[in-house]
Structure formats: C-alpha cells, structure tokens
Amino acid sequence: MAIRALLGAIKKRTVSFPAFRGHSIYRHGSTLVVAEHEGGFIKPPSLSALAAATCLPDPDSSVSVLLAGSGPSLHQAASHAASCHPSISKVLVADSDKFKNPLAEPWAKLVHLVHQSGGYSHIIAAASSFGKNVVPRAAALLDVSPITDVTGISDSNTFVRPIYAGNALCTVRYTGANPCILTIRSTSFPVPQNSVDSKSNEAPISQVDLSTFDEDLAKSRYISQTSQDDERPDLGNARIVVTGGRALKSAENFKLIEDLANKLGAAVGATRAAVDAGYVPNDLQVGQTGKIVAPELYMAFGVSGAIQHLAGMRDSKVIVAVNNDADAPIFQVADYGLVGDLFEVIPELMEKLPEKK
C-alpha cells in the first residue's frame, strides 16, 4: 500500500505555470535583465529573471536584455532572446572576447556602461553563481545597494525575500537612487510555456558601443571551467528531483538514488551531510548553501530534514519522503511520507515503475 501511494504521487505530477503577477500596480522607467546564455540559448534562470521583470507592473515600460560574449553562439542566443517573450523591447549584445569568460570585473563594468547610456530604473539578474558574482560588483560601481534573492515583487520598490534559512519572509522597500538592482530566486518566477519562442514579434537587436570600455583584469584571471557529462536534467531546473541523505551510508549505496533517478528521468540531489561524507560531488547539494530547487516532484530518501536543507526545497510542488525515523522533520513538510527502510523501499519502487520512455 505504501509503495502504491508513492506511485500515485509520481503519477499525479502535472506541468502547470502560474500567470505573471503584478499588473494592477504602476511603475515608470525601464528594466535591464542581465542574462546568461549557453549553446545559443538563454539559460532558464535568466528566463526567470525576465519573468520577474514582467512582474514590475507598468505595461508601457520597456524591458531590455543584455547578452555578452563572442562567437556564433552569442548571436544565436540574441535571436533566441529577441523572440522568447513579447515583453522584450530590445536585445543588447556586447560582442567581444573580453566577455568570453564569466569574470565579474568586465561584466560589472559592462553593466555600469550600459546603465550610463540607458538610464534604467531596475537591473535584474538571476541569483545564480553568475548573478551572485557580477551583481554586487556592478552595484558597487553604480553606488547602490542591491536586494538579493528576491522571491516576490509587490510593487516597483517593494520586494519579498527569505531570511533565517527560509523560515521567515522579509518585505523590503527600496528607497535609494536608481537603478534598483535585484537578484531573483529563479524557482519563484516560473516561465509560462507560451512565453518561449514567440517568433511573431521579435525584438530588435542592438550592438553595445564598447569604444569607451576600459578593461582591467588585474584582479582576477580565468583558468578553466569543468562540468560533468551527464544525461540527467539540470538539478536547478528539473521537473523531478530524487535526493539522498547520509542514511545511504556510502557512495556505492548512493547508486540506488542514481538508478531511481535514471528510471524517472529525474535529477539527482544530495544533502550537505551526504556531500561532506564524499558520496557525491558538491554541485548536487540541495539547501541553503547549495542549490535552491522547486520541482514538481521532490523525492527524499534518508533525508532527516535539517533547516538548511528545507530552505532549498520547501517550494517543491509535491514532496515525498522516506525515512526510518517517524519523528524526522522532513515529514512536517512532506505531502506523502513513508516510515521505512530505504534499502527495501527503493528496490520495490524500481520494480513497480515502468521503464522511462
């Protein structure tokens, strides 16, 4: 019966995207979205930043997207950005080898340069590693204080952000000079399906004048970037996430989580304890000091539910928890809970699940 309930939770997952909010309040000015791109496409967190920009109310205000880099992939990404949402009024492209790598110094100076010519009221980026790297430096150059990790927009100067590991929400009113700089939590601003690839109304693409751009790379130097070759979905954007905790006891046992994820077409996550124990690399960590996720289905096996972990997954649509401790805090946030041995539950669940198509 317990396994049947878990199967029911998996089958009930649905794809639904709420409409954009905030059309009943007003703002004046324009918004710049600092976007990341890869392989000729705008990254999902940056699409969420665009969704946040549309939550700033005034329908007559303009939204510009800033892209930088070099090579064909940059121009493909610009074409994607120009057609990904009808609210975009302009795509700004900075084509130079200076922006080939995601270093904070040149990117922050670029944001400063573009703002000087555009005079934006808001500058928005995703609270990804890229945004967290660039935005504080750009804010310092512009002599303003950024508001970080925004999860809600009340009006053009009032925002909601989590504090105390997500256990409380703080409403912040910005009273400083323009621009108001925000980083947004991408899981709080989902992208409606009908906003992507709207070819009927493409925004114009303009080149950023870099003749006055003064580059100074003395403070940092790009060495390399490594990524895992993995067919699984990206953890930050996956529809289903299967997470394992310290109760897996070893890296070898953690393969149970990976096998289940493969069968579900899910991403793999881990608690900080599992990462610290060396079961998996730290890029799979979910929580306050890891990645923030909000999938349609979050399955937690051997996860106790520490506060810092809950802060990274509490916004999941459906949460399924399996733990042999009936008093584990994870059950307080779970929609479906099973008190049992994960080494028995996972194999039985694997037997009953159909093969991934």
Bind-site residues for FAD: 246, 271-272, 285-289, 302-309, 323
Distance separating the N- and C-terminal Cα atoms of the chain: 25
- Give the residues across from 323 on adjacent strands: 339
- Give the residues across from 253 on adjacent strands: none
Show binding-site residues.
246, 271-272, 285-289, 302-309, 323
Element (H, E) at 114: helix 104-118
Which residues, other chains included, contact 194 with Cβ-Cβ below 8 Å and sequence gap of 6+? none
Buried b (16+ CB within 10 A) or exposed e, 243-269: bbbbbbeeeebbebbeebbbebebbbb
DSSP E strand boundaries for the chain: 30-34, 37-38, 41-42, 62-69, 88-95, 122-126, 147-150, 152-155, 158-163, 168-173, 180-184, 205-207, 240-244, 267-270, 297-301, 318-323, 336-339
| Alpha-carbon span 272 to 346, nearest angstrom | 21
- Cβ atoms within 10 Å, residue 232: 16
Tokens coding 95: 């084509």
CA-to-CA dists, residue 290 to 146, 269, 283, 312, angstroms: 21, 10, 7, 7
> Cα 117 vs. chain centroid, distance in angstroms?
29
CA-to-CA dists, residue 240 to 52, 55, 185, 261, angstroms: 23, 26, 18, 8
Tokens coding 145: 């204080």
| Alpha-carbon span 74 to 110, nearest angstrom | 16
